[in-house]
Amino acid sequence: MATKFTYRSGQRPLDGFTLKRGVGQGAFGEVYFAVSDGGKEVALKLLLRGHTDAELRGVTHCINLKHPNLVHLFDLRTDARGDRWVVMEYVFGESLAHVINKHPTGLPTQVIREWFAALCRGVSYLHNQGVVHRDLKPGNIFIEHGHLKIGDYGLSRRISGSEAGDLSRGVGTPYYMAPEIKNGNYTASIDIYACGIILYEMVSGLRPFNGETPYEVLIKHITETPDLTKLPAPYREVIRRALEKDPAKRYATAVELARAVEEMFTGGRREAALPTASLADAAVSMTPQLPRGRPVPPPTPSKTEPLEIPSGAAVPVASPARAAAPQERAGVPGPLTHTARDRLTELAGGLALAPLITAACTAPWAVFQGPVPWTLLGRVFLLSTVLAWAVMVIGRLPKKNEHNPWGRRAIQLVVGLCIGALAFWLDGWALPTGTASASTGDIVLPFTGQRISQSTLTIGMKYLIYFGVTVAVFRWWTATDHNRRERVRFTPIIAATFWSAIFLFLWPWEAAPAMTGVSVLVIATVTAQVASPWAGPPPSLRSRAYYSRG
């Protein structure tokens, strides 16, 4: 496929630069790694002849653009033969296409989150400068020291309707082409569409539309709806909208798209404003340099020491809180997805930790309450541990519908009823058997023949109702959310105190001190928060921490 390069290593077709090696060839020309007479390492792109001045104006327009997520353009020069050269920053790293190839089932979730936000920031900057990229694709996106940079902007030739027709003859890579390109009538929205396809690919390792010929792929962009079932559920709606056939129905801006993705990760909580938040800047210190994967070793080994990200493995992050955490990966449904094994390991660790925390909370309670019988302490310890365990486990259930918590509440109600039954049993109200203490008011249970007195039944019911109601009303899923902003917050503790106190009128006062109920709820809330697996501070906070350390 690759033809010979026009120039060899050591040649100086462009005054002031010595070519070191050819890097690759694309639709617009060939790229060389070169060094200027002053020692500056650059990429030189020799543009194919036949570019019109109007097309080159695109490069000229971009020559002074500056953004951390754009490959820096230094100059547009003409050599002695009249050929045009784009002098640009040489990116030591590898293309996003390479990274995706190495992760055939999708990139780690945290990486998607950071790189996609960075991509949208770069695209948004271009759009604000009046530039539509037109050729956004993983091959034109580079990752250097974990930092994402978009290349080849300002270079793409106008893709007019007639040129789109060339696709039938196999020109171009139409995997990222918006359907309206066929009319030659398009706006910045084609970049939003391309970002949608890129996100699809980052998440699943697959492209939504494939075909034997470029023409077939383009026809699919125009006529077929993308198969979203291959994506983890939280991504589906965002990608569906980014890939709308009608540009008017897509996200209006790259910022809007980035925000929708970020909200997917934060569950709707507002993070720092995306255009200014420095997710990718934080990633500079977080991700190892990825190898370029080129046949010829790059000239400065010190800059390119490859630290391979093995397929499916972790990309280390700077935050100490996260450093040891297993990496999330795309591919498993859930807002921030882990592999099932990672999730189980984390959860098991949390469950093991829970009794220690409840014990630590129960002890001071004994001190403040004065002399408390050990049996009561034991009951509080056991009930709060079991409750914390239960809410931690149900907190990991997939969220079917964020906006309808009633399914979750129903499960919580069942948990509460079980806790009530356990409290009743621990209280020593094991059901009397036989007929020894039979009295006329007793209720005889069917099948077992066990008898329960009216008063015992009332106490049992009160336990069930009290714990059923208080556990059901509380929003445990926010306290145990993997992506909660802080590991432990006071609001849930206050809420637990509030609800457990409000419903004390249901408490079986005759059986146990009311503080038992309140303590169980409060201690379980503290424990569930401390012990529940936590993703660490959101990236905006992490990057702030990074800068304040620096």
Residues of this chain, 124-143, that bind ligand ATP according to CB under 6 A: 135, 139-140
Residues near Mg ion, by CB under 5 A: 26, 140, 152
Pairwise CA distance, residues 298 & 140, whole Å: 19
Site for ligand ATP contains 23 (CB under 6 A) = yes
Residue 507 near which of Mg ion, ligand ATP, none (CB within 5-8 Å, type-dependent)? none
How does 287-310 read in b/e, with b if 16+ C-beta sit within 10 Å?
bebbbbeeeeebeeeeebeeeebe
Site for ligand ATP contains 71 (CB under 6 A) = yes
Site for ligand ATP contains 58 (CB under 6 A) = no
Q: Is the Cβ of residue 152 or residue 244 nearer to ligand ATP in the bound state?
A: 152
Give the H/E segment covering residue 95.
strand 94-95
Give the H/E segment covering residue 151.
none
- In the bound complex, which residue of the shown chain has the CB atom lying closest to ligand ATP? 26
Q: Give the active site residue among 37, 53, 79, 135.
A: 135
The region of 18-26, 409-417, 452-460, 528-536 touching ligand ATP under the rule CB under 6 A is 18-26
DSSP for 506-534, written as a single string: GS-TTTS-HHHHHHHHHHHHHHHHHHS--
Active site residue 135: yes
Residue 323 near which of Mg ion, ligand ATP, none (CB within 5-8 Å, type-dependent)? none
Pairwise CA distance, residues 248 & 41, whole Å: 43
Site for ligand ATP contains 500 (CB under 6 A) = no
* Relative orientation angle of helices 539-549 and 279-286, to the nearest 10 degrees: 60
Pairwise CA distance, residues 329 & 335, whole Å: 11
Residues of this chain, 73-102, that bind ligand ATP according to CB under 6 A: 88-91, 95
Q: Is the Cβ of residue 31 or residue 512 nearer to Mg ion in the bound state?
A: 31
Residue 88 near which of Mg ion, ligand ATP, none (CB within 5-8 Å, type-dependent)? ligand ATP
Any idea what DSSP says for residue 130? Answer: T
Residue 150 near which of ligand ATP, Mg ion, none (CB within 5-8 Å, type-dependent)? none
Site for ligand ATP contains 214 (CB under 6 A) = no
Give the H/E segment covering residue 87.
strand 84-89
Strands across the sheet containing 147-150: 94-95, 141-144, 147-150
Q: Which of 9, 26, 260, 263 binds ligand ATP (CB under 6 A)?
A: 26
Tell me the number of residues near ligand ATP by CB under 6 A: 20
Site for ligand ATP contains 296 (CB under 6 A) = no
3-state secondary structure 220-257: HHHHCCCCHHHCCHHHHHHHHHHCCCCHHHCCCCHHHH
Pairwise CA distance, residues 280 & 269, whole Å: 20
Site for ligand ATP contains 17 (CB under 6 A) = no
Contact (CB, 8 A) for 101 and 111: no
Q: Is the Cβ of residue 71 or residue 195 nearer to ligand ATP in the bound state?
A: 71
Contact positions vs ligand ATP (CB under 6 A):
23-29, 31, 43, 71, 88-91, 95, 135, 139-140, 151-152
The residues that are catalytic are: 135
